[in-house]
A and B are shown apart, each in its own frame.
Chain A
Amino acid sequence: MKFIIKKTGSLIITLVIISFLSFLAFSLIPGDAAVASLGMDATEADINALREELGLNRPVHVQYADWLLSALQGDFGVSTQYHLPVSELVVKRLPATITLAVYSMVIIILVSFPAGLLGTRKPNGAMDTVMTVLSQVGMAVPQFFLGILLTFFFGIVLDWFTVGGYVGVQENPAGFFRFLVLPAVAVAVPKCATMTRYIRNAVVAQKKQDYVRTARGKGNSEKRVLLQHVLVNVMMPVVTMLAMMAADVLAGSIVVEQVFNIPGLGRLLITSISNRDYPVVQAIVVYMACAVVIMNTLADIAYQKLDPRVR
């Protein structure tokens, strides 16, 4: 309990630092929101008037406090591009990104456990070598290139789906979920490969431990040694690793949304950057960073619960 409070405390501190840094970064950009929304042709007086109105003339820390207070109430300001509240824009894009991320995590978990265990029966044996090579290829392939390859094969050669044919969850839920499978594969494959390798190495390392010798000495079969003794020890670092992967999955979805033309947070982020729509960029960055930090904290707490040694 004490641990959870301590972790939550440091979580809040980290979140404050993150939000402050991202606020500071975007307030340092030459050409502020006033310039951005009025355009380059606006007169100095107009800009100054708008600055006054938006409160951009106040000191940074005051602006930050102000921004943080409204952000906590879900108000991230107004998009300079769409002239809509940022939160409204973000919420509309959330389902696609969240579904994509959840899909990818599910694929990673379902694939990497069996794949990771496959080669551990005989390390450096034929099966292990095959899995090693496969995971090396998986780790090396860029997610967007994989996305393009998948589009080419399943969209163009096999014609199983319409390229760029994203449908919203409200319009056609079945189509929405079906469409996101391939993008999720593109996001998941490199992470699957990393995870497979990680699990494989962890299991092989654990199998060299003394307690495994004890377990064998009791008369356990190899299978029972793996399931009853090794896996419980491997689980803890793997859970931590999975939580860290959530960050990578989120990052991967930024790129893959671009490949498959999915209107998610990532695409909104990239378009907003090219349109210099900073309130939106700021909000998304803070959102994503928060998601990652919260995931990591949850993993820490889970670890604490799982491992009797640190309990």
Chain B
Amino acid sequence: MTKKLTAKYNDSCIKLFEFIKMLYEGDVEFKKVINHFSDGEYNGKSNTHVTLNKYLNAMKIFGIKVKKINHKYKMLSSPYKIKFDIDDLKSIKLLKQAGDILPEGKNKTNFEDFIRALEIRFDDSAQNICRVENSTQNLDLEFSNSEITDQLKYCAKLCKDKQKLEIIYTDDKGGEINLLCSPIEQIYEKRKHCLKVLGNNGSRVYDIPTDNIKSIKQLPISSSTQAIPTTVVYRIKNRLAKNYKIRDWERLDKIEYDGSQVIVNKNEDLNLLLHRLMRYGTQCTIISPKFLKEEMIERINKTLENYE
């Protein structure tokens, strides 16, 4: 170890690589860079800026792209690159879109740092694909939508403010629904961006596609922090019980002697859940809560009315 530290080295080589290390960590203030190259002795008169330009040119000619934006140096392509193909770039884009709906905080910062760490290491081919994509938007990722950015920001603010909302949205019949609710989080459901909210009675969860929202009014009342979403218990049997895959928000309560299973479900939009359970036909029955059981019976009755 001692031998390594006393071995002869080249100071300007170290300065250059340390500068690159700084750039890998994020944008670097001009002042910090000039101090780095002048060992903290820059007085505005020395020729450190000339030296700095020579280093920047060396980097540029080598293929490292560095741009000065608002008195900060930003590395656009690095000396160490990773080869990413078009499928990788699509995956990164999907992840980025999912990351956009994370609430502000450590998770979001950590995730954005990861994306930046990848983007800075894009090889030339990946950079070219991204450039083309940014100029033509020809990579159809289905839930890629530039207009959604403003919606995402607005929904993030609503979730952060934790105030009650009055939302007017259209349901699957095209009818207008006026809902008093508390925002929970933003999610993607069937590739659609949705705002997850808790109804005003504090028990019913709604996943409202933002495309269906006609207006949102923030009310001067704080959301209740004590509200707990309804727990739904239902029984599945026969072939469905054999093949059913428990969702992340569900748990298996028990297996009956006849092989049927009792599932406990929490935090799912009850309307979507009713649609899903209806699909299972006679192989599924809701056990509780009573009001949802009645809603299911009403749904069956209304469907039957079509044939009277």
Interaction A to B:
no
Residues of A within 8 A of B (CB): none
Residues of B within 8 A of A (CB): none
